[in-house]
Amino acid sequence: MFKKLLFIVFILLSQSVQSVQIEIEIEGVKNELLENVQAYLNFEEQKTPSGLPYNHIIDLHKNVRAYLSLEQQKDHPRLSKSRIRRLHKQAPAEIKKALLPFGYYRATVTSSLSRPKIEEIECTAKYIVTLGESLKIDLDIQITGEAKTDDFFNNLLDDFPVKKGDTLNHPNYERAKTVLRNLAEERGYFNAKFSKHEIEIDEQDYKATIRLYFNSGKRYRFGEVIFKQDFFEESFLRRFLNFKSGDFYTEYALLSFKNALLNADYFDNAEIDMPRSSSSGNVYLPINVTLHPRKPNKWTTGIGYGTDTGVRGSLGYERRYVNRYGHSLSAKTEVSEIRHSAIVEYTIPRGKQRGEFLSFNLGYKDESPETSDSKLFLLGVRKHQPRRFLGSKISEVVGLEYRDDRYAVGSDIGHSRLLMPHISWIYMKADDRIYTRRGYKIQLELRGALSQIVSNTSFWQTHINSTLILPLLKRGRLITRGDIGYSDISLLNGNFQDLPPSIRFFAGGDRSVRGYDYQSLGPINAENQVIGGKNLLVGSIEYEHKIWGLEKWSLAAFWDIGNALNGLSQPLKQGAGVGIRWLSPVGLIRLDVAAALSEPDQPLRLHITIGPDL
């Protein structure tokens, strides 16, 4: 009899703990608010003194139901009907509590629980949320200390995370406090602190008063900069500084200084230590800079292919620093199917700016595309200097170059000697130099020669080219190019036939008018040979779209137009086609198939190029 009783009890207990399947539905709360509610429920035990959750909960993105007690336990193997009823009863209070940090103090929750069907062992818990009126903010913010007159703090208040009249949102309140702390840290108010930060809820007048009283204290300044290394002259190292002792501290200036050191190719590492003074009266912070120079010698090799040049290879050597003053030496030779070149360059830093230096170069180039042959010897000096124009930073290069060039272009055979002063400006801005989604580059160059001064002919020439890249749609980008050149020969009593091919303009090729061979477009002579022109006009428009699911691959369609010209009566050639792009570890690789639209049979040509767009 006792055994039978135990068996009956066992059967009843096993039935009582049988898991009940339940479905949970929540209506009236969705999107971001729903995610925030669930996040609050997840971190409900992590409270501020005001009883509201900390700001990091805003970063979680899961459904509110996952953090309801009922949802948490719905798959529990011992979930029973009685436990469901208990958890269901407390769910409305959990939801209401989760809505408080987001300004909904008058929310109502209607709940219902369907009876389970014994044969299916299922039931449904449903919660309909009516948010009601949201609680509005009355903002009281006060900034004292030296930051009171700091324009950065005044401008910050114009775009503050919380504003008077906004709906209460506690994550935004926490974010506002973080923004103030971060700005103080970035601008050298290292003793800044809140004298008051609170949210006062007035449920009778139904408003929330946020009080933020922020005392910045004194602002610290840069003190003496001490370099710890045993090779370079300190006068050379100080060229990298973008601030002076006594300037107000900014985190941006200190990071820019460190990046300048690391990007200069002289140092493997730059450790910057700025001990903060324990004395409240000392606002000058010393900067200790420990530098670890790179190995002085560097060798590079490269191999590639382009339809303009064919297979190409290169070998380079660089002496990163020749002496204590940061002088450097580089040499590079390149070989391809149409070009052999070698150049040696010696660089001397000069002036007080990091981008200011002199370079001396000696080079030789033997180039033989289908339209010309040239054996060029050159010797030159250049002064590189950053400039500012209309508030923007540009790179300026002023130089003097001597060229000795033996050439053949069509039926023109000559020996050119040119002493050319030249100047160029480059302005470039890009969100990413490897794969630009938004950016542009403009380059303007002026050069010339006088037959009375060393040269055997006279000319002056201007050349401007530009590239503009803009994002289009979510996965696409629009790329436009323009290339304009102008030469004046007659004004200075020059002779076009005396100009070598490196001075004449040609069109056609991978980065010109696609669909045509490299330098195959331009004025022709009586023998129908392309001899180049005095002017250049090329334009291009291209749309590129990433392939869905293949982030490093994209498809492109383009249209190019242009030619090298001697006058406006000559026609512009057109090319159009499609291509595929691959963002490889070595850069963007482009494969294009283009048709020469201006030719009778519209022949196709394959173009392959490697490198950035700008």
Point out the domain boundary residue: 267, 293, 319: 293
264 and 179 assigned to the same domain: no
Residue 479 has pLDDT above 90, yes or no: yes
Determine the distance from the C-alpha atom of residue 172 to the mean position of all C-alpha atoms in its chain, rounded to a whole number. Answer: 27
Residue 400 is predicted with a pLDDT of: 97
Alpha carbons 353 and 351: distance in angstroms, whole number: 6
More confident residue, 81 or 342: 342
Residue 230 has pLDDT above 70, yes or no: yes
Residue 28 is predicted with a pLDDT of: 82
- Look up residue 201 and give its two tokens: 């809820």
Strands 297-306, 476-488: pairing is: unpaired
Number of structural domains, the chain?
4
391 and 540 assigned to the same domain: yes
More confident residue, 1 or 267: 267
Residue 127 is predicted with a pLDDT of: 87
- Look up residue 480 and give its two tokens: 């436009």
230 and 203 assigned to the same domain: no
- Burial bucket for residue 490 (CB in 10 Å: 0-12, 13-18, 19+): exposed
Residue 78 has pLDDT above 80, yes or no: no
Point out the domain boundary residue: 247, 273, 293: 293
Backbone φ and ψ for 535, nearest 5 degrees, come out as: -130, 165
- Look up residue 476 and give its two tokens: 């696409």
Kindly write down the DSSP assignment for every residue of 168-186, as one continuous string.
P-HHHHHHHHHHHHHHHHH
Please report which confidence band the pLDDT of residue 69 belongs to, taking 50, 70 and 90 as the band edges. Answer: confident
Residue 62 has pLDDT above 50, yes or no: no
* Amino acid at site 180: L
207 and 90 assigned to the same domain: no
Please report which confidence band the pLDDT of residue 537 belongs to, taking 50, 70 and 90 as the band edges. Answer: very high
Q: Domain for residue 312, yes or no?
A: no
Q: What is the mean pLDDT of residues 577-588?
A: 90
Q: Domain for residue 328, yes or no?
A: no
Strands 284-293, 297-306: pairing is: unpaired
pLDDT tens readout for residues 385-416: 988 877 678 999 999 999 999 999 888 899 99
Point out the domain boundary residue: 130, 145, 164: 130
Residue 19 is predicted with a pLDDT of: 59
Q: Domain for residue 298, yes or no?
A: no
Q: Domain for residue 338, yes or no?
A: no
Residue 36 is predicted with a pLDDT of: 56
Residue 12 has pLDDT above 60, yes or no: no
Determine the distance from the C-alpha atom of residue 42 to the mean position of all C-alpha atoms in its chain, rounded to a whole number. Answer: 35
598 and 505 assigned to the same domain: yes
Q: Domain for residue 337, yes or no?
A: no
Q: What Cα–Cα distance (Å) separates residue 443 from each residue in 440, 462, 465?
A: 10, 11, 5
Among the residue ranges 118-122, 156-160, 484-488, 570-574, the one predicted with the least confidence is: 118-122
Alpha carbons 502 and 506: distance in angstroms, whole number: 9
Please report which confidence band the pLDDT of residue 63 belongs to, taking 50, 70 and 90 as the band edges. Answer: very low
208 and 273 assigned to the same domain: no
Residue 515 has pLDDT above 70, yes or no: yes
Please report which confidence band the pLDDT of residue 15 belongs to, taking 50, 70 and 90 as the band edges. Answer: very low
Alpha carbons 5 and 11: distance in angstroms, whole number: 10
pLDDT tens readout for residues 300-349: 998 877 777 778 899 999 999 999 999 999 999 999 988 899 999 999 99
Residue 59 has pLDDT above 50, yes or no: no
Residue 13 has pLDDT above 60, yes or no: no
Length of the chain: 614
Residues of the domain holding 268: 221-293
Which residues have a Cβ under 8 Å from the Cβ of 275 and sit 6 or more positions away? Answer: 285, 286, 288
Q: What Cα–Cα distance (Å) separates residue 420 from each residue in 299, 380, 445, 554?
A: 32, 9, 12, 43
User: Which residues, in sequence order, are bridge partners of residue 27?
Assistant: 128
Q: What is the mean pLDDT of residues 122-144?
A: 87
pLDDT tens readout for residues 87-123: 888 888 888 888 888 888 888 989 888 875 555 557 8
Residue 442 has pLDDT above 60, yes or no: yes
Residue 86 is predicted with a pLDDT of: 85
Q: Domain for residue 48, yes or no?
A: yes
pLDDT tens readout for residues 232-280: 999 899 999 989 999 999 999 999 999 999 988 899 999 999 888 655 5
Work out the mean pLDDT of the chain and round it to a whole number: 85
524 and 403 assigned to the same domain: yes
* CATH number assigned to the domain comprising residue 151: 3.10.20.310
70 and 35 assigned to the same domain: yes
Residue 574 is predicted with a pLDDT of: 96
Alpha carbons 122 and 20: distance in angstroms, whole number: 6
480 and 535 assigned to the same domain: yes
Residue 514 has pLDDT above 90, yes or no: yes
Among the residue ranges 26-35, 290-299, 351-360, 535-544, the one predicted with the least confidence is: 26-35
Greatest Cα-to-Cα distance within the chain, rounded to the nearest angstrom: 130
Among 391, 298, 308, 378, smallest CA distance to 343 is for 378
Residue 44 is predicted with a pLDDT of: 40
* CATH number assigned to the domain comprising residue 50: 3.10.20
Q: Domain for residue 357, yes or no?
A: no
Q: What is the mean pLDDT of residues 446-450?
A: 94
Kindly write down the DSSP assignment for every residue of 19-65, as one continuous string.
PPEEEEEEES--HHHHHHHHHHHHTTTSB-TTS-B-GGGGG----GG
Please report which confidence band the pLDDT of residue 157 belongs to, taking 50, 70 and 90 as the band edges. Answer: confident
* CATH number assigned to the domain comprising residue 580: 2.40.160.50
Q: Domain for residue 363, yes or no?
A: no
Q: What is the mean pLDDT of residues 149-177?
A: 87
559 and 459 assigned to the same domain: yes
The structure tokens 């990413």 sit at: 432
Alpha carbons 532 and 512: distance in angstroms, whole number: 14
142 and 95 assigned to the same domain: no
Residue 564 is predicted with a pLDDT of: 95
469 and 579 assigned to the same domain: yes
Residue 68 is predicted with a pLDDT of: 73
Residue 35 is predicted with a pLDDT of: 57
Residue 57 is predicted with a pLDDT of: 35
Q: What is the pTM of this model?
A: 0.73
Determine the distance from the C-alpha atom of residue 547 to the mean position of all C-alpha atoms in its chain, rounded to a whole number. Answer: 21
